[in-house]
Amino acid sequence: MQSRYDIAIVGGGAAGVLAAIQLLRQARGPLAIALLEPAPRLAEGVAYSTARGEHLLNVPTGRMSALPEQPEDFLDWLATRPGHADQPREALAAGFAPRRDYAHYLRERLRQAMAASPARLDVVPHRAGALLRADGGWTIEAGPERIAARRVLLAAGNAPRPLPVRGSGALAKPRLIDAWDYDGIAAIGPEASVCIVGTGLSMADALLTLAANGHRGQVHLLSRHGLLPLAHAPAHALDEGFEVESLHALGTRARLRAIRARVRDAGQHGLPWQGVMERLRPHGRALWRSLPAAEQRRFLRHARRAWDIHRHRVAPQVQAALQALHDSGRLHLHRARLDLAVAGQRCVQLGARTRDGRTLVLDVDHVVNATGLELRVQAMRNPLLDRLLGEGHACPGAHGIGLASDGDGRLLDADRRPQDDLRVIGSLRIGQDWETIAVPELRMQAEAVARDWLTPKTARPGLCAAVRRAAATPPR
Ligand SMILES: Cc1cc2nc3c(=O)[nH]c(=O)nc-3n(C[C@H](O)[C@H](O)[C@H](O)COP(=O)(O)OP(=O)(O)OC[C@H]3O[C@@H](n4cnc5c(N)ncnc54)[C@H](O)[C@@H]3O)c2cc1C
């Protein structure tokens, strides 16, 4: 028999749970919601499934609320947790909590929303394999279940990039370990030699786990650009006077020049560069959309890495730990492009080409794939997305990244018609929005989709006052 729902959410990571919380909170009468998630625990997904205390949020506590209408909600929650009661509120707000705490927080808020709502939420513990158009909505095939839903919200989240190198297909765990396989990284022996491919935030996670486990072997870090994560400024800084709208008329190069000039100016007034980035943060989507397609391509080709390390920063204590490892002499940073990986009996041999044309050969016990998110939807190897594309219910987003959607997350079909009953939130909006991966954006998207779907069209007053205020304030 087919179960019937008003709304089905596909994906129960942070984005799907934020959407479920909003639907439950905004429902004014009976509403049946299905949340499809194959993982054993909700709200974890890739980012918050780590059980390791050294893996911290990369956004300060004071900005991680699940609720746009209550910007300090995560701070309030954390303040009641054991160990935090005596901490001054300001220090707690500016600090970086363990990521595992964040999943607990989201689950607690979900439970409370379920208890207080006239709506009903059923968790379906299966992966959605297909979405088929049916009378008045959709049929979802999920394991043994068939679910009918009038509307579907895709919150399928982040996909890992496969190691982009010849020979990697022959490598398997434990020789090749994904940086998001937190237990796999923790199982690396203390004397083992390791090469981490990719030098972003997931590399930092892997290094911190090695350090926490007393690792003493050699560690090679390898990436094409050799750029390491940068840290947040110790205190919140915001360049209030920067007129961000003035950037909209500029192309990529001129924008970056203007931002660098602003950073120099800010520095002369004692404001760290992070203050300029924080000022840009809530304007990420508008800045991206105001770039013509050719300029977006230029950004992706030439500026993305440098942008990422300035925009996605680590907690100061994480950077201090990385520095200590570097100073120990066991960390070797290589600016090189990985060409080949050969699996041997007892080790892996990696061949890479350095920027100055030399060949670099590394023999290591383990290779860690920390190359980050796969943005190209056709390379994500998600059967559901493949079928949506194949059957014309979706098409790739701008530059082939994410799925094409309108400004409110309505998926565009193959004829580029927006579908009101099939929406997307989270990183799959990246081609359209660029700034769409972290909680400050996810909670706004979740709130907006719930409001759009649940408010009768004639009675819609626009953004409620609290949300409007939150949207207008600096990044949270
Ligand atoms: C290592 C890491 C650390 C991060 N740290 C932070 C941070 O500190 N602060 C911050 O704001 N952001 C952070 N982020 C950004 C992060 O992307 C978001 O905060 C958030 O976790 C994204 O949630 P999501 O639900 O969109 O995606 P995901 O976490 O990827 O969850 C997607 C879920 O969808 C499910 N799913 C996929 N396909 C299907 C299907 N066909 N059927 C059913 N279910 C499906 C998956 O099982 C998964 O549980 C981090 C990201 C990473 C990778």
CATH code, 439: 3.50.50.60
Distances (CA, A) of 360 to 30, 101, 338, 357, 406: 63, 41, 9, 9, 45
User: Are 336 and 382 in the same domain?
Assistant: no
Q: Is residue 175 part of a domain?
A: yes
SS3 38: coil
Nearest CA to ligand 1 atom 43: 127
Residue of 138, 158, 178, 380 to mutate, ligand 1, most atoms within 8 A of C-beta = 158
Distance CA 325, CA 323 (A): 5
Measured from the Cα of 158, ligand 1's closest atom is 30
pLDDT at position 2, please? 79
pLDDT in tens, 278-296: 999 999 999 999 999 999 9
pLDDT at position 469, please? 47
pLDDT at position 459, please? 54
Measured from the Cα of 126, ligand 1's closest atom is 43
Q: Please give the residue range of the domain that contains residue 260.
A: 244-311
- From the CB of 45, is ligand 1 less than 6 Å away? yes
For the ranges 8-17, 442-451, 459-468, the lowest mean pLDDT is seen at: 459-468
Ligand 1 centroid, distance to 51 Cα (angstroms)? 15
Given pLDDT bands bounded at 50, 70 and 90, which one contains residue 36? Answer: very high
For the ranges 59-63, 75-79, 169-173, 466-470, the lowest mean pLDDT is seen at: 466-470
Q: Is residue 197 part of a domain?
A: yes
Residue of 46, 161, 201 to mutate, ligand 1, most atoms within 8 A of C-beta = 46
Q: Is residue 69 part of a domain?
A: yes
- From the CB of 16, is ligand 1 less than 6 Å away? yes
User: Are 423 and 454 in the same domain?
Assistant: yes
pLDDT in tens, 452-467: 999 977 655 444 444 4
Mean pLDDT of the 85-98 span: 92
User: Are 133 and 25 in the same domain?
Assistant: yes
User: Are 198 and 344 in the same domain?
Assistant: yes
Distance CA 221, CA 200 (A): 10
User: Are 33 and 147 in the same domain?
Assistant: yes
Mean pLDDT of the 241-259 span: 95
Given pLDDT bands bounded at 50, 70 and 90, which one contains residue 475? Answer: very low
Q: Average pLDDT over the chain, rounded to whole?
A: 93
Given pLDDT bands bounded at 50, 70 and 90, which one contains residue 1? Answer: low
**Side chain identity, residue 202:** S
Structural contact between residues 24 and 33, judged by C-beta atoms closer than 8 angstroms: yes
Task: Domain count for the chain, please give it.
Answer: 3
pLDDT at position 166, please? 87
Mean pLDDT of the 433-438 span: 95
User: Are 256 and 385 in the same domain?
Assistant: no
User: Are 128 and 204 in the same domain?
Assistant: no
- From the CB of 425, is ligand 1 less than 6 Å away? no
User: Are 307 and 320 in the same domain?
Assistant: no
Mean pLDDT of the 216-226 span: 95
Residue 83 has pLDDT above 50, yes or no: yes
- From the CB of 157, is ligand 1 less than 6 Å away? yes
379-385 LR contacts (CB < 8 Å, sep 24+) = 379/161, 379/162, 380/159, 381/159, 382/156, 382/159, 383/129, 383/130, 384/10, 384/127, 384/128, 384/129, 384/130, 384/131, 384/156, 385/156, 385/428
Q: Supply the Cα-derived Rg of the chain in whole angstroms.
A: 23
Ligand 1 centroid, distance to 13 Cα (angstroms)? 5
Q: Is residue 238 part of a domain?
A: no
As given in the structure block, the two tokens for residue 372 are 């980050």
pLDDT at position 133, please? 94
Residue 15: other Cβ atoms inside 10 A: 31
Nearest Cα to Cα of residue 202 among 49, 348, 64, 328: 49
Measured from the Cα of 440, ligand 1's closest atom is 11
User: Are 150 and 211 in the same domain?
Assistant: no
pLDDT at position 471, please? 43
Q: Is residue 236 part of a domain?
A: no
pLDDT in tens, 146-176: 999 999 999 999 999 998 888 888 899 999 9
- From the CB of 101, is ligand 1 less than 6 Å away? no
User: Are 318 and 307 in the same domain?
Assistant: no
